[in-house]
Amino acid sequence: MAATHNVTEFLFLGLSSNPEVQKVCFVIFLLLYTAIVLGNLLIVLTVTTSRSLSSPMYFLLSYLSFVEICYSSTTAPKLILDLLAERKVISLWGCMTQLFFIHFFGGTEIFLLTVMAYDRYVAICKPLNYTSIMNRQVCGVLVGAAWVGGFVHSFAQILLIFHLPFCGPNVMDHYFCDLLPLLKLACSDTFLIGLLIVANGGTLSVISFVVLVASYVVILFHLRTQSAEGRRKALSTCGSHITVVLLFFGPCIFIYLRPSDTLSVDKMVAIFYTVITPLLNPVIYSLRNTEVKKAMKKLWIRAMKLDEK
């Protein structure tokens, strides 16, 4: 049975209590969120409408960009609205819903990044069998497995936190509902629950990161036998993915491994993985990939011709 909750809503302290700073932050984060949505949506449209981007790598990239839009949308709109609100409040059920989708899309992204690393491994280490191993059906199954994995991970986290009683206080030093700040507000012993939460989220992040690093070590070892041109092309595609992996996993691992009394630092780190990383992903993949840039240019030309008509 679920615990009895005397608290029906939570109050966020937000990023700043200074009204002038909040107004500046409102403009900045509104622009950043708009760029996140438009940038990642551009990648999705480019991949789905371009015949030259039909390989599994771009199929997976389009799903990653879609997940980035969903992931940032769980926190950024609420943050932007709260910057102009006197009371930054969220209901208990709203908090649980936000918490679920943060971990759902975050977990899905972790699994998608792992699938993308496997795709690069097959493409570089088994090039002759690449199209048969990574066919569209297999890619669909792997993407579906990533969504299921994200759901299971998030459901487990919510199940752990929802059974905690919240009877006051209800002020959270954050700008969205997150697990560790919620643990601080529970009016019961949360040591065991905290360990289980860290074991679930931390283990997922660390193990996935280790698997990703190991896969790229194997890829780099395999590239020694290839030509200079082959190494350059392979490293170009892998470099984008490695950069995104480091940007995403670095803050996540820090959150789970840092001391439990540094919640104020967590807000700054959270901005990085909820806003900055989703913003940088489309930039990284488009600027470092000639095929994506060419496809975007063609998409832009087609759009201009339609406008002229």
In tens digits, the chain (309 residues) has pLDDT values of 445 557 889 999 988 889 999 999 999 999 999 999 999 999 999 999 888 888 898 899 899 999 999 999 999 999 999 999 989 999 999 999 999 999 999 999 989 989 988 998 898 888 889 989 999 899 999 999 999 999 999 999 898 888 888 887 899 988 999 888 888 888 888 888 878 887 777 777 778 888 888 888 888 888 777 777 667 767 776 777 777 877 777 777 676 666 555 556 678 888 888 888 888 887 887 766 778 888 888 888 887 776 665
Helix, coil or strand: residue 90: strand
**In 10 A of CB 308, how many CB atoms?**
6
Q: pTM of the entire structure?
A: 0.89
Burial of 70 (0-12, 13-18, 19+ CB in 10 A): middle
**Second CATH level (architecture) for the domain 9-308:** Up-down Bundle (1.20)
Question: Residue 76: enclosing H or E segment and its boundaries?
Answer: helix 76-82
Q: Are 211 and 114 in contact (CB under 8 A)?
A: yes
Alpha helices in the chain (DSSP H): 19-49, 56-73, 76-82, 92-125, 130-133, 136-162, 179-185, 191-222, 228-257, 263-271, 277-287, 290-308
Sheet holding 89-91, edge to edge: 89-91, 9-12, 171-172
Helix axes 136-162, 92-125, angle to 10 degrees: 150
Helix (H, G, I), strand (E, B), or coil: what is residue 75?
coil
Domain ranges of the chain: 9-308
Vertex 193 angle, CA 191 and 195, to 5°? 70
